[in-house]
Amino acid sequence: AQKITQTQPGMFVQEKEAVTLDCTYDTSDPSYGLFWYKQPSSGEMIFLIYQGSYDQQNATEGRYSLNFQKARKSANLVISASQLGDSAMYFCAMREVSNAGNMLTFGGGTRLMVKP
Partner 1 sequence: KAGVTQTPRYLIKTRGQQVTLSCSPISGHRSVSWYQQTPGQGLQFLFEYFSETQRNKGNFPGRFSGRQFSNSRSEMNVSTLELGDSALYLCASSLLAVDSYEQYFGPGTRLTVT
List of residues contacting partner 1 (CB under 8 A): 33, 35, 37, 42-47, 50, 52, 91, 93, 95, 99-109
End-to-end CA distance of the chain: 38
Beta bridge partners of 96: 32
Cβ 106 to partner 1 shortest distance, Å:
4
Which residues touch 2 (CB under 8 Å, ≥6 apart)? Answer: 26, 107
- φ, ψ of residue 11 to 5 degrees: the values are -145, 145
In this complex, which beta carbon is closest to partner 1, that of residue 78 or of residue 104? 104
Rank residues 5 and 67 by Cβ distance to partner 1 and give the closer one. Answer: 5
Q: How far apart are CA 113 and CA 107, in angstroms?
A: 18
Shortest gap between Cβ of 15 and partner 1 (angstroms)? 27
Which residue number, 28 or 42, has a Cβ lying nearer to partner 1?
A: 42
